[in-house]
Amino acid sequence: MAETIHARFRVDWPGFTLKTNLALPGTGVTALFGHSGSGKTTFLRCVAGLEHAREGFLKVNGQVWQDDAKGVFLPTYRRPLGYVFQEASLFEHLTVSKNLDFGQRRIPAEYRKVSFDHAINLLGIEHLLDRRPASLSGGERQRVAIARALLTSPSLLLLDEPLAALDLGRKREILPYLERLHDELDIPVLYVSHSPDEVAQLADHLVLMANGSVVAHGPLQETLARLDLPAAFADDAGVVLDTIVAAHDDGDELSRLDFGGGSLFVARRPEAIGRRLRCRVHARDVSLTLERAEHSSIMNILSATVVAIGPLESPGHVLVRLQANGTPLLARITRRSSLALNLGPGLPVWAQVKAVALLD
């Protein structure tokens, strides 16, 4: 049986109600995305047992943590989870090493899944062990907090906007370490964010929330390509592609990335051939033609088929969903262009990709 997280909660506050009934993957990274006040953190607090939702049920990969119908409610300290907040919440009077030791000592040695050395290597904090939190940057503090959470050997890791308090430079510093957690650890993660870039870079599964309800959820690529949800990402509407570095052209300083729908050329990458890279193609950076352009400065031209056309809030524009050999793409074009090309489901077109954003 596939690993699954079943989460059914209802929380009623004056002016706000959280109501969810989700079956999420019990592996990989599930991102909870939505604007402030959408219910993301309340949902996470219910999972952690910090909020006792009525009519609640929570089952994490076969373990029941809450079942109000049967009177089951495990308190937070009995739930095998790690929780990292926006603020690192380290013990200021302890060194980094002793902060980490505090997390590890919560778990008997025979039940530890993550070793001390593995945690500090994953987060790149070997050189910080003798320092105290006051001497750390924001990014370093969050890396220590994540390492401490990992040393509790959690069955589930909760990350509540761990980058929200960091500036752009610190975010770029810590994102590669979060990617390493995704790639190297078999611990499911619920990741709360209101940043489309973070979601695109880290998530496997996406939950879109608004006003306490789940608007949509599903695999990242498919959910991002839905036409009925463009308002959730506004100008950031687009898709995420999993690609492989296929070739380097040192003469032209280009690299070729292959994926299911074809190939894309980007500025020369340092990664070795065969390395997997995730990239983002915004709908605003895709134009459409009925015939392949032979004389164009745009190198990335993909054969595609129109699947559907949906409206946008911005006047005069539409969002076109495409399939490029089974890979979903989105194009944002003017309504006039759509009519001029006589676009409709099943029509073969050429998608010209003007820009590719590498997520690294």
Shared-domain flag, residues 218 and 267 = no
Looking at the fold, whether 201 and 288 belong to one and the same domain comes out as no
Check: CB of residue 188 under 8 Å from CB of residue 5: yes
Q: Does some domain include residue 230?
A: no
Q: Residue 249's CB: how many other CB atoms inside 10 A? A: 11
140: nearest Cα among 116, 153, 124, 154: 124
Q: Which residue do the tokens 């006003």 mark? A: 211
Q: Is residue 156 part of a domain?
A: yes
Across the range 202-212, mean pLDDT stands at 93
Band (254; pLDDT cuts 50, 70, 90): very high
The domain boundary residue, chosen from 181, 197, 224: 224
**Cβ(301)–Cβ(351) under 8 Å?**
yes
Question: Which residues sit opposite 266 in a β-bridge?
Answer: 255
**Same domain membership, residue 145 and residue 251:** no
Has residue 233 been placed in a domain?
Answer: no
Residues 179 and 258 in one domain: no
- In a domain, residue 232? The reply is no
For the chain, what percent of residues have pLDDT higher than 90? Answer: 71
What pTM did the predictor assign? Answer: 0.89
Average confidence (pLDDT) over 41-50: 96
Residue-level pLDDT at 111: 80
Q: Which residues contact 111 (CB under 8 A, 6 or more apart)?
A: 153
Q: Which residues pair with 350 in a beta bridge?
A: 289, 303
Q: Which of 175, 197, 224 is the last residue before a domain boundary?
A: 224
Answer whether residue 229 is part of any domain: no
Domain range for 288 is: 238-358
Which of 224, 259, 280 lies at the terminal end of a domain, its last residue? 224
**Does 16 reside within a domain?**
yes
* Residue whose C-alpha is closest to residue 137's, from 159, 163, 158: 163
What element of type H or E holds 279? strand 276-282
Please say whether the beta carbons of 239 and 259 come within 8 A: no
Between β-strands 156-160 and 189-193, what pairing exists: parallel, antiparallel or unpaired? parallel
Q: How far apart are CA 101 and CA 129, in angstroms?
A: 11
Residues 198 and 244 in one domain: no
Structural domain contains residue 43? yes
Number of structural domains found in the chain: 2
- pLDDT tens-digit map of 149-206: 999 989 999 999 988 888 888 888 888 888 888 888 889 999 999 888 888 889 999 9
**CATH code for the domain of 109:** 3.40.50.300
Query: How far apart are the C-alpha atoms of 138 and 162, rounded to whole Å?
Result: 10
Instruction: Please tell me which residue, 106 or 247, carries the higher pLDDT value.
Output: 247
pLDDT(339) > 80: yes
For position 309, which CATH number holds? 2.40.50.100
Same domain, 144 and 284: no
Is 36 part of any domain?
yes
Q: What is the pLDDT, as a whole number, of residue 182?
A: 82
Do 262 and 331 fall into the same domain? yes
Distance CA 242, CA 302 (A): 16
One domain, residues 162 and 263: no
Rounded Cα distance between 34 and 37, Å, is 8
Tokens of 269: 């990458």
Average pLDDT, the chain: 91
Q: Are residues 63 and 211 in the same domain?
A: yes
Residue 360 has pLDDT above 90, yes or no: no
Q: Are residues 113 and 247 in the same domain?
A: no
Same domain membership, residue 183 and residue 69: yes
- Which DSSP category does 29 fall into? E
Domain match, 187 and 69 both: yes
Interatomic CA distance for residues 33 and 39, integer angstroms? 10
